[in-house]
């Protein structure tokens, strides 16, 4: 009989098509690979191209291509959320759902002992169930946001029991969207319900343990936190070397990294206020600027007139991509102006870099409140109309990175970094034990 004890346990990872999901799934794959699991990662060719570079030649993780239907408005290079124009998101979700039969064929071909799937859709675990393959959900966002979301879905008549976690009035549209009964909400709930006994989630107890406990009570599942899942950064191209050489010339903790993730594109108004805020702040900066695929936008035309000349060698503007973890690891980096995507928050904590929180959408406003609650960052609060103000941006940057009264935040970020290092791989060890038990029960060993 094939069992977890007599052969290498095989796991198929199946994330949603967003880089913010694929990246932690890949990092989870590295951890499983180190523990003698045979790991398969399934996604579209558009996503796997970037993953191949991350894997390198030494990894045994096998990539499995999922080919979506090519629609006139959604060619193959758009089968990813990375750079996808926002108006095509629903089209991508439709194409993804239509790929269920192809994914079922992949399951039959790979025959994994276990499927680890994302929270977006219930059909992957349903397909696995038909083949008697146990399926475990991995949620790559925070326990805080997930527990808040489930609370709104399940207990809309009750106030969330943790007062530090809320939406500002100007962010209320995000909270109101959660309250509206929709097909999407039902799909999320079903995908949680389909998970076998446990739910894996990115994070650790010291950070948001009370929220994972609350989530466990609502979901009826054991929550297994898997740690920050941050890989040691590497420089793999000339652009990375240029950035590192520039950082090497800066004083310790004198530079901020400014980035808003792979999916969000700044409004014209926000773009200009951030640019002016960086001019007003008294720190060096690396600012990553991104534009949607297919839009012919020139960076020089977007920046305020004379911006680069005024900044001089104090700042670097990078279009498209920068080695985020490598920058955050660098001793010259003293702050992170972040949208508070969960991967970015975890990387910032892992490297002990305090956060200047500037959330934009989705789970980010809730994550920003957590960052403030645990004391590792300060939020840039918008005006009553939801507009960023350059003076507020500069003030928060200077407070967190330069000023004496920001030392509390800087110290807390370092303490959390040290705590993460001390914990080592405790969460990964617990996850390995839980997954092996699920596999063994499937094979009748318990």
Residue 21 among the catalytic residues: yes
What is the number of other CB atoms lying within 10 angstroms of the CB of residue 133?
20
Do residues 4 and 113 lie in contact, with contact meaning Cβ atoms separated by under 8 Å?
Answer: yes
Q: 444 pLDDT exceeds 80? A: no
Average pLDDT score over the chain: 92
Packing angle, helices 407-423 and 390-401, rounded to 10: 60
pLDDT of 446 > 50? The answer is no
Beta strands in 194-319 (DSSP E): 198-201, 222-225, 255-259, 284-289, 315-319
Rounded-to-5 percentages of helix, strand, coil across the chain: 50, 15, 35
Write down the pLDDT at residue 2.
Answer: 45
Task: Tell me if residue 76 falls in helix, strand or coil.
Answer: helix
**Rg of the chain over CA atoms, in angstroms?**
22
Full set of structural domains in the chain with CATH: 10-231+425-442 (3.40.50.2000), 238-421 (3.40.50.2000)
- Backbone dihedral angles phi then psi of residue 99, each to the nearest 5 degrees: -85, 5
Please state, for a pLDDT cut of 70, what percent of the chain lies above it. Answer: 97
The Cα–Cα gap between 18 and 353 comes to 25
pLDDT in the model for residue 442: 65
pLDDT in tens, 119-140: 878 999 999 999 999 999 999 9
* Annotated catalytic residue, options 113, 118, 208, 363: 118
Q: So what's the pLDDT on residue 231?
A: 78
| pLDDT given for residue 295 in this prediction | 75
For residues 34-53, give the mean pLDDT: 93
> Distances from the Cα of 363 to the Cαs of 87, 193, 277, 342, 367, in angstroms?
19, 21, 24, 8, 6
With 0-12 / 13-18 / 19 or more C-beta atoms within 10 angstroms meaning exposed / middle / buried, residue 409 is buried
> How are beta strands 10-14 and 333-338 bridged, if at all?
unpaired
pLDDT digits (tens, 9 = 90+) for 332-371: 999 999 999 999 999 999 999 999 999 998 899 999 999 9
Global pTM? Answer: 0.92
pLDDT in tens, 195-242: 999 999 999 888 899 999 999 999 999 999 999 999 777 777 788 999
The residue that leads in pLDDT, 73 or 3, is 73
Q: How far apart are CA 343 and CA 351, in angstroms?
A: 12
pLDDT for the residue 8: 86
Predicted local distance difference test score (pLDDT) of residue 157: 87
Q: Are 353 and 333 in contact (CB under 8 A)?
A: yes
% the chain with pLDDT above 90: 73
Q: How many residues does the chain have?
A: 446
Cα atoms found within 13 Å of the Cα of residue 63, Cβ hemisphere only: 20
Give me the pLDDT at residue 56, please: 77
| Residue 345 near residue 338 (C-beta atoms within 8 A) | yes
Indicate if the pLDDT at residue 309 is higher than 90.
yes
Spatial contact of 258 and 353, defined as CB atoms under 8 Å apart: no
Using a CB cutoff of 8 Å and minimum separation of 24, what contacts does 242-251 make?
243/286, 243/316, 243/318, 243/322, 243/323, 243/326, 243/327, 244/323, 244/326, 244/330, 246/286, 246/316, 247/286, 247/327, 247/330, 247/332, 247/333, 248/332, 250/284, 250/332, 251/332
| 118: annotated active-site residue | yes
**Model confidence at 4: pLDDT above 60:** no
In three-state form (DSSP H/G/I as H, E/B as E, the rest C), the secondary structure along 384-409 is CCCCCCHHHHHHHHHHHHCCHHHHHH
pLDDT tens-digit map of 137-184: 999 999 999 999 999 988 988 999 999 999 999 998 887 777 776 777
At residue 362, the pLDDT reads: 84
- Categorize the per-residue pLDDT at 431 as very low, low, confident or very high, splitting at 50, 70 and 90: very high
Which entry of 21, 79, 151, 330 is annotated as an active-site residue? Answer: 21
According to the per-residue pLDDT averaged within each range, which of 2-6, 23-27, 264-268, 294-298 is highest? 23-27
């Amino acid at each position: 009989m094939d069992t977890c004890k007599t052969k290498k346990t095989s796991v198929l990872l199946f994330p949603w098509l967003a880089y913010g999901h694929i990246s932690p799934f890949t990092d989870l794959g590295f951890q499983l690979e180190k523990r003698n699991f045979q790991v398969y990662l399934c996604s579209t060719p558009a996503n796997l191209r970037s993953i191949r570079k991350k894997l390198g030649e030494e990894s045994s993780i096998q990539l499995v291509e999922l080919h979506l239907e090519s629609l006139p408005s959604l060619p193959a290079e758009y089968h990813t959320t990375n750079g996808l124009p926002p108006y095509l998101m629903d089209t991508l979700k439709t194409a993804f759902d239509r790929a269920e039969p192809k994914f079922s064929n992949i399951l039959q071909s790979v025959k994994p002992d276990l499927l680890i799937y994302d929270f977006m859709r219930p059909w992957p675990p349903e397909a696995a169930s038909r083949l008697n393959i146990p399926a475990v959900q991995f949620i790559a966002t925070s326990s805080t946001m997930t527990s808040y979301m489930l609370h709104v879905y399940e207990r809309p008549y009750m106030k969330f029991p943790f007062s530090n976690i809320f939406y500002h009035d100007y962010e209320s549209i995000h909270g109101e969207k959660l309250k509206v009964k929709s097909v999407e909400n039902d799909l999320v709930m079903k995908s949680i319900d389909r998970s076998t006994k446990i739910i894996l989630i990115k994070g650790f107890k010291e950070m948001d343990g009370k929220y994972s406990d609350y989530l466990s009570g609502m979901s009826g599942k054991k929550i297994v936190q898997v740690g920050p899942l941050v890989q040691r950064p590497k420089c793999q191209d000339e652009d990375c070397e240029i950035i590192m050489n520039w950082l090497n010339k800066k004083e310790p903790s004198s530079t901020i990294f400014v980035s808003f993730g792979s999916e969000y594109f700044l409004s014209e108004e926000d773009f200009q206020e951030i640019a002016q805020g960086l001019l007003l702040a008294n720190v060096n900066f690396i600012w990553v600027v991104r534009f949607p695929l297919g839009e012919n936008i020139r960076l020089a035309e977007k920046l305020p007139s004379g911006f680069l000349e005024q900044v001089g060698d104090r700042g670097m503007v990078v279009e498209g991509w920068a080695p985020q973890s490598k920058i955050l690891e660098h001793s010259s980096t003293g702050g992170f102006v972040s949208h508070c995507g969960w991967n970015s928050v975890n990387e910032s904590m892992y490297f002990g870099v305090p956060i200047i929180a500037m959330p934009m959408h989705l789970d980010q406003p809730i994550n920003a409140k957590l960052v403030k609650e645990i004391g590792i960052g300060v939020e840039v609060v918008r005006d009553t109309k939801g507009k960023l103000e350059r003076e507020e941006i500069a003030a928060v940057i200077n407070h967190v990175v330069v000023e004496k009264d920001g030392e509390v935040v800087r110290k807390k970020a370092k303490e959390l970094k040290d705590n993460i290092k001390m914990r080592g791989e405790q969460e990964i060890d617990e996850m390995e034990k839980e997954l092996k038990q699920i596999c063994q029960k499937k094979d009748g060993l318990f």
